[in-house]
Structure 1
Amino acid sequence: MTVLPTTEPAVLRGSLRDQFETFLDEHRAHMHACLDGLTDEQARRSLVPSKTTLLGLVKHATFIEKVWFDEAVTCRPRSEIGIPETPDESFDLTPGDTVESVQRAYREACAASREATKDLGLDDLVRGNRRGPLPLRWVYLHMLRELAQHGGHADILREQILDGARGRA
């Protein structure tokens, strides 16, 4: 006979916001870790016709953090934030982009995202997005979708780079 636990995991006892943030942080950690153990050359390797590389995916994840948690929350323009105008440009790599520098930028962007929203409620409107005012709940759901999609891309690319070695970093 299987005995079910009498208490729920902590994440289930938390608020809906706690649950959103737990899942966001899990996806963020996965994106960050997709570069672990790779050389800069491996991380830059292009395996598909688009600009998508593992290094470019994490650079793009940094971009979307800044779009959704800086631009949308603070209403600052992209030029002031220092990010490209279009998502496509966010995959562009410069000679100075390394595994270390891109992971550091991503960690910093995620920390800034947490800081920017710490005093907001899920129903509070953020007004700096090009779509118009949106509730923070919508932003969290959008980010979960983005990170899940790109995390899947990262898994496939990493598997190809490591000659079929499977599993997450």
Structure 2
Amino acid sequence: AWLRRDGGRPGDLLMVTGWLGAAAAGLRCLLHPDAASGMPEQLRDAWRSALVAPRARISEGMQLVAAGIRCGGDISDGLIVDAGRTAVASGCGAELWLDRIPVAPGLVEHFGRGRVELALGGGEDFELLAAASPEQATETLARWPAELAPLAIAGRLVEDDGVRLLASEQGESLPLPASLARHWR
């Protein structure tokens, strides 16, 4: 068995592994070294490493499949694009909850609101996205091995088309950053 993007249903929770935005932050540091010079070297090195030597989440994918999860895929083109692909393949839409999206360490402090664009659209993070019923997601999270990359709920599949960004699960709808909105107008 493996993960396929077309197995989701409205109401399924969207889960992601690891932290998003590190590779995009690494690219920004490489392209704009003057702006990055005031950032801690350890963070810049971690972000660059995420860009040039990403770690495939093979063990995490195997754990998701072992937990009975069948809907998912990688987040190589950014969460907004890959959540959209999963939603379209599953015949539904998606909502992402900004307060639950796990962003890479240092993004909030050094990129402020720009972290949203990095985490949602930066891509190249090579984390995983999975969709599962609320019961299955809760059970998977409870049994998730500590030695693997963290697993977090970041949104859900919905009846509507498209991808929406919400401040929180019950929160207000937020505009997508202009650079990302072109994918889901």
Same fold per TM (> 0.5)? no
The structure whose RCO (Cα within 8 Å, separation 6+) is larger is 2
- Between structure 1 and structure 2, the one with the greater Rg is 1
Q: Larger % of helix: which?
A: 1
